[in-house]
Structure formats: C-alpha cells, structure tokens
Amino acid sequence: MEAIVKTIFPVAVISVGIFLAFQGVLMIVAYTVLAERKVLGWIQGRIGPNRVGWWGVLQPFADLFKFIFKEDIVPDKSTKFVYYLAPIVALTCALLPIVVYPFGPAITTVDWSFLPYGLGDNIQRLPMTIAQIDVGVLFVLGITSVGVYGIALAGWSSNNKYSLMGGLRSSAQLISYELAMGASVIGVVMLAGTLDLNGIIFAQMNSPFRWFIIPQFIGFVVFLIAAFAETNRVPFDLPEAETELVAGFHTEYSALKFALFFMAEYVNMFTVSVMVTVLFLGGWYFPGLSYIFEFGSIPYAIASHILFIAKICVFLFIYIWIRGTLPRFRFDQLMNFGWKFLLPLALANVIFTILIVYFLNR
Amino acid sequence: MVASALFFVFAGLAIACAISLVYHKNPLYSAISLVGVFIALSCIYVTLAAPFIAAVQILIYAGAIMVLVVFVIMLLNLDDDKPLNRLQYLYAVGAGLGLILLAQTFFIFYAVSKKPNQYIETDETVGKTLNIGTAMYTEYLLPVEIVGILLLMAIIGGVILARRLEPPKLELVVNNELERRNESEIEDEYRIRL
C-alpha cells in the first residue's frame, strides 16, 4: 500500500499542476481574443461583441462551438498528410513552453508533515513550475522556433500560391528576427548567470537594479520588437497580410483546423508576454512585496501570482493596442529593419552588458 | 529501467525518421523527416542528463538550419527526385560502406558484451550549462577559437560568393545622363531667371 501511494502521489501532484497550468493559460488566451475584439472596437469607435452573455463574456465559447460545427473543407489537390500535420505542429509547439513557465515562488511556510508515509517532505521546496529545466530560456526559444514549421508547411501543402507566399515570408521573417531575439536575451543571461527561468527571477531579486529592464532597456525594446515579428502580429503580419495574400498561410484552412492556428497565434502572444515579464520585469517578483507579506507564505504567493498575471496582461494589451494603431511594414522594410537596425543594436547591447557585468564584479 | 525504455522509444523514432528521410522521393518530406531525427536525438540527450546540448540541438538544427533548408526547397519548388542512371556504381559503394559500418557496430557490441558490468564514475552536473561554459572557455579554449575562426571564414566565403562581381555599367550611364539633365535644367532655370 505504501509503495503504491508513494509512486502515485507525485504523478497525481504533477498531473493536477499540468491541468491547472494549461487550463489557466487557455482561459486567459480565450479571453485575450475577446479583449482584442473589444479594444479594437473601442479604438475604431465601435462597441465590439456584446450579444453573447453579459458584455459579450461568453463570446469565446460561442466562437469555439462555431469552429467545431463548421464544415471542414480540404482542398482536393493538397498534400493531405502535411496539410493535417501543420496545424497540430503549430499548436503543439505553442503550448509546450507552458511546461517551464515560473508561475510563482515555492510556498515554504505550510507544514505538510500531516501527510502519511513522509509524502510531504519534498513539497515545501516545490516551485510553481511544471518542469524545472536547467535551460528554460533555450527551451522556450527552441520550441517557438520549431513552431514556424506549422506555418511554412501549411503554406506549402495547401497547393495555393497565396498560402505558399505566406509560408515563405514566415520562414524568412523567423530566420531574420530570431538572431536579434537571441542576441537581446544574451544580455539578461549574462547579468543573471543562468538559463533557468526561476534562476533569472532570483537573480533579479538579488541584483542592485531589481528589474533587468533598467540596465537592459535596449535589450527589452529589441526583444519586444523581435517577438512581435516572431509571432506574426501587426506590424509584422506579412505571412497573413489580407490585403495582399487573401489570408496568407491559412487561406485554405477552415473549421477546427483554422481554430488551431488561431489558438496557436494567441498562445504564442501569451508566451512572449511571459518571457518579457520574466526576463525584464522580474516575473512574479515585485520589489517591496516581502515587507507586506512574509516571503514564502500563501498570501505572498497569491499576491505575486496576481502581479505576474497583471504584468502579462499589460503586454497582451500592448499587442492589441499596436494592432489597432500601426500599419503594416513592406517586405523590404521588414528585412532591412531586422538585419541592419535590430541586429547591430542587439549586439551593441551585448557589449554594453559585458561592461556592466565587468564593473559590477570588479 | 524507464530511461532505457525511453531510449528505445526515441532511438526507434530516430531510425524510422532516418529511413523515411532516405526513402522519400520528395525533398520536402525528407527535410521534415530530418527534423524528426533531430527532435528524437535531442530527446535522447535529455535522457542522458545533457539538457543544454538537447536545447541547442533543437534551437540550431531543427529551429534554424532546417528552416532555411525548408525555405529553399519551397522557394525553388523542387520536383520529385529522379533516379540517377548514370551513377549506378554509387549504390555498390554505398552498400560497401554500409557493410563496414554494420561490422563496426557489431564489433562494438561484441567488445562491450565481453566485459559486462563496467560502470564508469559519472558526475550528474557535467551536462549543466555552467560546467559546459567553464570547460569551453578554460580547458578547450583553443579548439573553440579555431572553430570560431572556421565559421567566420565560412561566413566571409558566403558573402564573397553571393556578391555581384561586376558593377552594373548601366547604372553609370544613367547617372551621367541624369547629371547632364540636371545641369541642363539648372541652365534652363538660369535662363528663365535672366
């Protein structure tokens, strides 16, 4: 009996954690879509959706049911296997980074010793993360860069010239902006001395700057711009530019397969917001919060968790705000901007950070 | 137990993807299979307690290099691979090399099974990022620098190959023409002012 409980208990804890994390992220993502329609409506002098539920609160679920019950049309001359594979790849790669999000600090003040068989021994040191990976930053960057296959393969397999153009543009854009993105992260990694996302937050708690946005403001700006380009959002939404390419890579996709692409885009937005928050704004850490609540207690965890979500929501709002404000780049402008402006700026930031680290450690 | 089971799962996946890479006629299918090989390999690295190498494998090979390959295949819109009748002898060479590789593998299996239960003292922290970085910039600094210079040479070579060698002469003519026109326009203005 004891052996069975001891094997099942950690699996059960992790399963509950995974369920809560994915469910929470997907709920936030669903309401990002509603928030986007509302905010865009206000920016354009409209009301936005307000028919389904009070203030349009049930709109995301109505959209979901519509996607499920729509007719699924597959182009006759498409490459079937790749055509079905592409949306799955896109959504899977978008959802995978949730595994390493640092949702909050470990709760150390609760005594778990009432649990039988010594099950509570390790719970106190358990941080609110599904998987503690030593290379969290690289994991997120790698998985999100694999996600572009979803878009590129969708464009190729649809047997449609607009889709193909969208896929090509997406892969060219990703290759160009990934360099700037990686180079802007190097500064943070050098200041923190670790690639672990929780480790980066603890490094910000111990650094004299509190948040890395202060010494790394250039890196922050470069990361945010490059991340906009990586998620194919306005003003970098050339892969789905509707005035030129109908709908770009997802022209031939309908019903639930389109919904998968749609969800992947918004989950990617969420991932970028989490990464910006963790790398530059201290993640769940807020300076001075430990004077109000004891560090490691349950109120501290709840307050820091709410602050973390609030910071993420600020960036999601910036996404929507920019979509309502800026026009789209031309393709040559996009390439020139990425290679001739962002990349040199990011490299200059790396050199600047080397100097900071050198003088701090002297 | 779990680790070896996972190893066989991912190794089987890698081999299946590799076979599909070789046997597909369509270059894009081969490229996707190669991505599958890279991902399976990085899973094996994770089970071997080397998370940094696993992440770099995904980030660089699957995320950057193969995206370029897929981009080029899509851009050129390549057709299916045609069998090369002229180079039939290559099949024989390939079979010979494959047999040598197979013999090597069996020899290694044989050598290992002769001396079973030899456990090597390993450090769990060897695969950590900090240790890899420290080793690269202290003990193995010279090889790292040499590889860096090699990559720099490759980049410079690529730039030189892609550069246009002869400057287009048409542009010069047009420039002269434009200059001449501008001069005459200035003269015209001068006259008008007079």
**Whose CA is closest to B64, among A134, A322, A181, A82?**
A181
Residue A84 in contact with partner chain B when CB distance is under 8 A:
no
CA distances in angstroms from A21 to A24, A97, A103, A129, A299, listed in the order given: 5, 11, 9, 9, 19
Report whether pLDDT(B189) > 60: no
Report whether pLDDT(A106) > 80: no
Residue A82 in contact with partner chain B when CB distance is under 8 A:
yes
Least confident stretch, A74-83, A105-114, B63-72, B148-157: A105-114
Higher-pLDDT residue of A250 and B191 is: A250
Predicted local confidence at residue B190, as pLDDT: 52
Contacting residues of A for B32, CB less than 8 Å apart: 82, 149, 153
Predicted local confidence at residue B78, as pLDDT: 67
Predicted local confidence at residue B53, as pLDDT: 86
What are the backbone angles phi and psi of residue A252, rounded to the nearest 5°?
-90, 5
Predicted local confidence at residue B121, as pLDDT: 63
Contact across the interface for A172 and B129, Cβ inside 8 Å: no
Contact across the interface for A134 and B63, Cβ inside 8 Å: no
The amino acid that residue A322 corresponds to is I
The angle, 0 to 180 degrees and rounded to 10, between the axes of the packed helices A217-230 and A161-192 is 160
pLDDT digits (tens, 9 = 90+) for A197-220: 888 888 888 877 788 888 888 889
Q: Rounded to an integer, what distance in angstroms lies between the CA atom of residue A253 and that of residue A73?
A: 7
Report whether pLDDT(A122) > 80: no
Say whether the ipTM exceeds 0.85.
Answer: no
A75-107 burial, b at 16+ Cβ within 10 Å, e below that, comes to beebbeebbebbbebbbebbbbbbbbbbbbbeb
Best mutation target, B47, B48, B71, to test chain A (most A CBs within 10 A): B71
Predicted local confidence at residue A201, as pLDDT: 87
Q: Rounded to an integer, what distance in angstroms lies between the CA atom of residue A308 and that of residue A117?
A: 35
Predicted local confidence at residue B169, as pLDDT: 58
- Phi-psi domain of A293 (left: phi exceeds 0; alpha: psi -120 through 50; beta: other): beta
Overall number of domains in chain A: 1
Q: Rounded to an integer, what distance in angstroms lies between the CA atom of residue A92 and that of residue A105?
A: 27
Predicted local confidence at residue B175, as pLDDT: 58
Higher-pLDDT residue of B186 and A88 is: A88
pLDDT digits (tens, 9 = 90+) for B17-42: 999 988 888 888 888 899 889 989 99
Contacting residues of A for B128, CB less than 8 Å apart: 134
Contacting residues of A for B62, CB less than 8 Å apart: 142, 145-146
The amino acid that residue A332 corresponds to is D
Confidence of residue B194 (pLDDT cuts 50, 70, 90): very low
> What residue numbers bound the domain in which A325 lies?
2-360
Predicted local confidence at residue B120, as pLDDT: 64
Out of A117-121, B110-114, B180-184, give the one with best mean pLDDT. B110-114
Predicted local confidence at residue A162, as pLDDT: 85
pLDDT digits (tens, 9 = 90+) for A250-304: 888 888 888 888 888 899 989 989 999 998 888 788 877 777 777 777 788 888 8
Contact across the interface for B32 and A143, Cβ inside 8 Å: no
Out of A136-150, B82-96, B169-183, give the one with best mean pLDDT. A136-150
Contact across the interface for B67 and A153, Cβ inside 8 Å: no
Predicted local confidence at residue B188, as pLDDT: 54
Q: Rounded to an integer, what distance in angstroms lies between the CA atom of residue A134 and that of residue A139?
A: 9
Report whether pLDDT(A325) > 90: no
